[in-house]
Structures are given as C-alpha cells and as structure tokens.
C-alpha cells in the first residue's frame, strides 16, 4: 500500500505487478515481467516500486502519472547462493 493509503500494489503468479486505486477498486496500471512476482514494496514517496520475481531479479519500477516503467533490474548470483540485501534509513 502507498503511504497515503490511496493505492495498493500486488505481485502475482501471472507475472504481473498491478497498481490499484483503493477508492474505486479499479486497476490503474500493470507491469508484466518475465517470471512470476514474489514480492513488492512501495517507496515512502510512492514514486518507486521494488519487486522481486522468481528468476531472482529485483526490479525498480517508476510510478509517474500512474504509469509503471522499469528503472532498472538487478540479478546477482555469487557462488551459486542467493543473497538478501536490505537497507533502512538510520
């Protein structure tokens, strides 16, 4: 959910990431990936969605004018191990 509580984002097995208007319940925008989406999170300013998919990619998706567009995608495999990276504003 966006910090203002007006929109929500869903990650799905059908390879989509969807932006929803919570007041109307209608879909605003859809991003279609190459693999099914495991998770997603919205930035504090609601301008970026970070989503993880089943191929191990992390997608950084821009939300401008209710349009979803990929800023970048990241895939890193080190020594055949999966790694988790997280950050927090201290």
In the chain, the percentage of residues whose pLDDT exceeds 70 is 72
Closest C-alpha among 54, 48, 64 to residue 33: 54
Give 6's pLDDT tier (boundaries 50, 70, 90): very high
For CA atoms 32, 11, 8, 82, the dihedral sign is negative
CATH of the domain at 43: 2.40.10.480
Q: What angle do CA 85, 51, 88 make, to 5 degrees?
A: 40
How many domains are there within the chain? 1
Considering the domain boundaries, does residue 84 fall inside one?
no
Q: What is the overall mean pLDDT for the chain? A: 80
Q: Tell me, what's the pLDDT at 47?
A: 85
- 73 versus 38: which is more confidently predicted? 38
Q: Tell me, what's the pLDDT at 80?
A: 60
């Amino acid at each position: 959910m966006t910090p203002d509580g007006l929109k929500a984002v869903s990650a799905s097995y059908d390879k989509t990431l969807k932006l929803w208007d919570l007041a109307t319940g209608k879909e605003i925008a859809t991003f279609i990936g190459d693999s099914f989406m495991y998770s997603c999170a919205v930035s504090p300013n609601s301008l970026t969605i970070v989503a993880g998919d089943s191929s191990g990619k992390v997608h950084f998706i821009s939300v401008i004018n209710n349009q979803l567009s990929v800023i970048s995608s990241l895939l890193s495999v080190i020594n055949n191990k999966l790694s988790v990276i997280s950050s927090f504003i201290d």
